[in-house]
């Protein structure tokens, strides 16, 4: 029996996912494509996807891989909701995307990069009451650190210079220009404060009652939550 496979593909910043549907009935395949388009059009993050139609003698996704190895990098699912959630994750800005942009534009030290990343995040969060990108800041000894960025820069720094996820995701988006303008604002206002990690007087995040100081009192690597930032970021600003 011949099966017709409908494969919806999404690839963003090197992360590849796929929605897979197979049927021997071409009418069902056409109807499923319409359903997929309708479902994805209602997503908050407008997806960039492509559709492929493949004929094989099996209903399995493995047969699609055998038909053409092009499909092998894509992680498949047959649950449309799961596929929609994967698109949201891959197409949403994250801390490494933004840090990579900062790395290429300003060539910061690791210490300054983490401070600037944190202040861009915090300034946006306070102004708009929502996070600008996915991040998880924790309380290191010298201040707030996003662990994903820490690991990436420590073990694979060269890859940060090759990550253009920020441009891919932010340029042309509603928040893109706001974040770019905010990055320039934060750089102009705070960069000189974060050039020397041994100068406690310029380490604004170490002031009493700041989000970092409250989290750090709870233990090394304690999370710096959005609620802490919203309540106390004003104590670390100039």
pLDDT of residue 161: 79
184-194 pLDDT per residue, tens: 999 999 988 88
Break the chain into its structural domains and give their ranges. 3-91, 95-236
Q: Are strands 75-77 and 15-23 parallel, antiparallel or unpaired?
A: parallel
pLDDT of residue 167: 85
31-70 pLDDT per residue, tens: 999 999 998 887 655 567 899 999 999 999 999 999 999 9
Instruction: List all residues 6 or more positions away from 173 whose beta carbon is below 8 Å from its beta carbon.
Output: none
179-230 pLDDT per residue, tens: 999 999 999 999 888 887 767 767 899 999 999 999 999 988 999 999 999 9
What's the number of CA atoms in the CB half-sphere (13 Å) around residue 197? 14
Does pLDDT of 124 surpass 80? yes
Written as six digits, the tokens of 122 are 């915090």
């Amino acid at each position: 029996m011949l099966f017709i496979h409908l494969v919806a593909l999404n690839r963003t910043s090197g992360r590849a996912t796929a929605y897979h549907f197979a049927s021997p009935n071409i009418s069902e395949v056409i109807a499923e494509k319409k359903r997929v388009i309708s479902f994805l059009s209602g997503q908050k993050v407008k997806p960039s996807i492509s559709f492929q139609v493949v004929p094989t003698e099996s209903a399995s996704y493995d047969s699609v891989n055998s038909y053409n190895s092009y499909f092998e990098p894509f992680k498949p699912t047959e649950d449309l909701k799961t596929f929609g959630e994967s698109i949201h994750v891959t197409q949403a800005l994250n801390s490494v995307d933004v840090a990579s942009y900062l790395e290429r534009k300003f060539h910061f030290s690791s210490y300054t990069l983490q401070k600037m990343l944190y202040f861009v995040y915090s300034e946006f969060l306070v102004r708009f009451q929502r996070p600008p990108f996915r991040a998880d800041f924790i309380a290191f000894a010298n201040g707030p650190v996003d662990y994903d960025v820490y690991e990436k820069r420590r073990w694979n720094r060269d890859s940060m210079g090759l990550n253009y996820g920020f441009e891919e995701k932010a340029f042309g988006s509603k928040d893109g220009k706001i974040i770019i303008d905010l990055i320039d604002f934060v750089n102009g206002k705070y960069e000189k404060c974060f050039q020397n990690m041994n100068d406690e007087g310029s380490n604004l995040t170490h002031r009493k009652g700041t989000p970092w100081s409250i989290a750090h009192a709870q233990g090394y690597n304690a999370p710096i939550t959005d609620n802490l930032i919203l309540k106390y970021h004003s104590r670390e600003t100039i």
